[in-house]
């Protein structure tokens, strides 16, 4: 926000002093408000009132209705106020291995180096460090909800560390636990998800079972089917399924349809190279989809084309995700832009030389995928993803008059095509401020840097000793 330093500091002091007060109200005023609520749309100049941990009201002039009474009033003129982004799939424990293999050419290279080589040497402390770094980076770039597909749950201590990292970061977390692909583990999964839910579940943290589509990579114990579906039902949790690719996954989807295992409580990740019949089954059942645009295209997963056209044809509006930071970017802006460009390129190319009209998606579509649809995909559609009164106060304030955004002509276009993490001024999660004035709060960056580097050095050293690293730097 474009505030005098002393004013900014005074507001932060008030926000922090009143953080635990019952009925605490915060009024963001004078902004362009992108609600992502179809009934509210975009307000060229509007206000958003937060009360405790929820959005109390959204309107063009809430001050005239007395909203500023007893509220911390924040002048957000020159800014865009929007819902926080929602990441539907990120392997957060790997984050200290960022860009260790930036030019990995296929899934096999990633699996061999990361899951076979480095994952078995991770200690619970390394799980904590990687997961916390991922969550803090998410918050810094405006992601307020992150599904952590934690597929290195070797022991209960490993899982506890990953969950504690989400809690300590202040993000809205979804911990999706899965046993490791390779190496020794305690066989505590999936039953341990019930313990995690009982001991750690709260208003900011929910749980899922994570699984693979087939046993091709890591054997039958990790593949989704009747056993894991029954475990999820018994625990009252949903399931996220990774590595959904090609003919084998298409056959699995049709078998799940026959077994009655598809539905809104199931999320299929990637979903590249699936058959039309598999997409029919997905659409008919209301199964949700998490796309990973840069992962599919850059690593070359199956067809290497994000399955956006297939999803929309089946009647599914997907969520978006980051996937693996060992080779990919960390933020949602990159995912939106990549998907927007790839789909529109394909649409025009398909119509080239014909009289057909290209079927392009819009910036409004990809912003919807990154917010409201991401929340729905994570099972949180009634909780977050839009600035709808009654939903949780997961809110971004984006500087729209910074040099890369000025002048503000189209708010949605600016969020999708112009903005990056440097423009994310303020982040609220459940009404609590996590980023302010462009800086993460309550994070000792020097200590974080030292901790991350030490963990990275340990993992790379121990992994190399175990024969890992064949693909690193390739």
pLDDT digits (tens, 9 = 90+) for 56-111: 999 999 998 988 889 999 999 999 999 999 999 999 999 999 999 999 988 889 99
Same domain? 254 vs 352: yes
Segment holding 290, helix H or strand E: strand 288-291
Which stretches of 241-331 are DSSP H helices? 246-259, 276-285, 293-295, 308-313
Residue 264 backbone phi and psi in degrees, to 5: -60, -20
Q: Is residue 38 part of a domain?
A: yes
Residue 404 neighbours by CB distance under 10 Å: 11
Phi/psi at 39 (nearest 5 deg)? -85, -15
User: Residue 337's pLDDT band (boundaries 50, 70, 90)?
Assistant: very high
What CA–CA distance (Å, rounded) separates 375 from 369? 9
Residues 141 and 102 in one domain: yes
Task: Supply the pLDDT for residue 467.
Answer: 58
Q: Which domain holds residue 148?
A: 85-377
Confidence of residue 470 (pLDDT cuts 50, 70, 90): very low
Q: Which band of pLDDT confidence, cut at 50, 70 and 90, is reported for residue 471?
A: very low
Burial letters for 68-87: b for 16+ Cβ neighbours within 10 Å, e otherwise?
beebbbbbbebbbbbbbbbb
What does each C-alpha distance from 107 to 13, 80, 297, 298, 405 come to in angstroms?
Answer: 48, 38, 12, 11, 37
Average pLDDT over every residue of 376-391: 98
H or E element: which one contains 255? helix 246-259
pLDDT at 469 over 90: no
Look at residue 465 and tell me if it is in a domain.
no
Q: Is the pLDDT of residue 46 over 60?
A: yes
Summarize pLDDT for 134-187 with one digit per residue, the tens.
Answer: 999 999 999 999 999 999 999 999 999 999 999 999 999 999 999 999 999 999
Same domain, residue pair 215 and 250 = yes
Residue 382 confidence (pLDDT): 98
Residue 287 lies in a domain: yes
User: Which residue in the block uniquely carries the two structure tokens 């004013």?
Assistant: 7
Look up residue 226 and give its two tokens: 């009747």
Residues 6+ apart with CB under 8 A from 393: 26, 50, 52, 53, 54, 55, 428, 429, 430, 431
Tracing tokens 């050293």 back to the chain, one arrives at 461
Residue with tokens 């009934």: 39
Residue 460 in domain:
no
CB atoms within 10 A of CB 305: 17
Would residue 169 count as lying in a domain? Answer: yes
Q: What is the mean pLDDT of residues 215-235?
A: 93
Q: Which residue has the tokens 């970061």?
A: 169
pLDDT > 70 fraction of the chain, expressed in percent and rounded: 98
Q: Please tell me whether residues 311 and 418 are part of one structural domain.
A: no
- Counting the structural domains of the chain, the total is 2
Average pLDDT (295-310) is 95
pTM: 0.96
Distance CA 229, CA 265 (A): 10
Whether residue 342 sits in one domain with residue 321: yes
Spatial contact of 28 and 76, defined as CB atoms under 8 Å apart? yes
Instruction: Give the distance, in angstroms, between the CA of residue 201 and the centroid of all CA atoms in the same chain.
Output: 19
- 């699936």: which residue's tokens? 274
Residues 214 and 146 in one domain: yes
Provide the total of helices (H) and of strands (E) in the chain, helices listed first. Answer: 15, 17
CATH number of the domain within which 428 lies = 2.30.40.10
| Phi, psi of 255, deg, nearest 5 | -70, -40
Query: Are residues 130 and 279 located together in one domain of the fold?
Result: yes
- Tell me, yes or no, whether 318 lies in a domain: yes
What distance separates the 2 farthest-apart alpha carbons in the chain? 67
DSSP helix/strand/coil, 59: strand
In terms of domains, do 339 and 409 share one?
A: no
* Per-residue confidence band for 466, with pLDDT thresholds at 50, 70 and 90: low
Could you tell me if 21 and 89 lie in one domain? Answer: no
> Of 329, 351, 377, which closes a domain?
377
């Amino acid at each position: 926000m474009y505030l005098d330093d002393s004013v900014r500091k005074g507001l932060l002091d008030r926000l922090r002093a009143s953080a635990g007060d019952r009925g605490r109200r915060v009024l963001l005023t004078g902004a362009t408000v992108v609600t992502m609520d179809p009934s509210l749309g975009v307000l060229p100049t509007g206000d958003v009132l937060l009360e405790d941990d929820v959005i109390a009201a959204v309107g063009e002039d809430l001050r005239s209705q007395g909203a500023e009474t007893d509220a911390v009033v924040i002048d957000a003129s020159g800014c865009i106020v929007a819902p926080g982004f929602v990441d539907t799939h990120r392997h957060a424990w790997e984050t200290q291995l960022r860009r260790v293999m930036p030019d990995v050419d296929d899934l096999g290279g990633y699996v061999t180096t990361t899951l076979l080589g480095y994952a078995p040497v991770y200690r619970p402390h390394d799980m904590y460090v990687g997961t916390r770094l991922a969550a803090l980076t998410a918050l810094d770039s405006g992601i307020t909800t992150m599904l952590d597909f934690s597929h290195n749950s070797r022991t209960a201590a490993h899982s506890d560390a990953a969950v504690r990292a989400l809690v300590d970061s202040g993000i809205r977390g979804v911990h999706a636990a899965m046993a490791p692909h390779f190496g020794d583990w305690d066989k505590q999964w999936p039953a341990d998800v019930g313990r995690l839910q009982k001991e750690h579940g709260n208003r900011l943290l929910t749980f899922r079972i994570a699984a693979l589509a087939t046993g091709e990579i890591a054997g039958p114990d990790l593949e989704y089917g009747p056993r894991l579906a029954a475990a999820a039902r018994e625990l009252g949790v949903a399931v996220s399924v990774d590595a959904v690719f090609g003919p084998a996954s298409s056959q699995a989807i049709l078998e799940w349809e026959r077994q009655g295992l598809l539905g809104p409580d199931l999320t299929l990740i990637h979903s590249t190279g699936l058959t039309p019949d598999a997409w029919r089954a997905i659409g008919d059942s209301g199964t949700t989809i998490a796309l990973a645009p840069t992962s599919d295209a850059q690593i070359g997963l199956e067809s290497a084309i994000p399955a956006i056209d297939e999803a929309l044809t089946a009647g599914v509006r997907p969520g978006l995700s980051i996937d693996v930071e060992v080779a990919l970017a960390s933020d949602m802006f990159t995912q939106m832009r990549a998907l927007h460009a790839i789909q529109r390129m394909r649409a025009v190319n398909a119509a080239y030389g014909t009289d057909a009209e290209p079927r392009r998606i819009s910036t409004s579509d990809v912003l919807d995928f990154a917010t409201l649809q991401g929340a729905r995909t994570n099972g949180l559609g009634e909780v977050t993803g839009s600035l709808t009164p009654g939903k949780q106060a997961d809110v971004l304030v984006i500087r729209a008059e910074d040099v890369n955004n000025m002048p503000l002509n189209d708010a949605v276009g600016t969020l999708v095509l112009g903005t990056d993490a440097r423009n994310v001024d303020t982040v609220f999660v459940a009404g609590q401020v996590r980023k302010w004035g462009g800086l993460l709060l309550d994070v000792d960056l020097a200590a974080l840097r030292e901790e991350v580097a030490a963990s990275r050095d340990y993992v790379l050293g121990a992994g190399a000793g175990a024969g890992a690293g064949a693909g690193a730097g390739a």
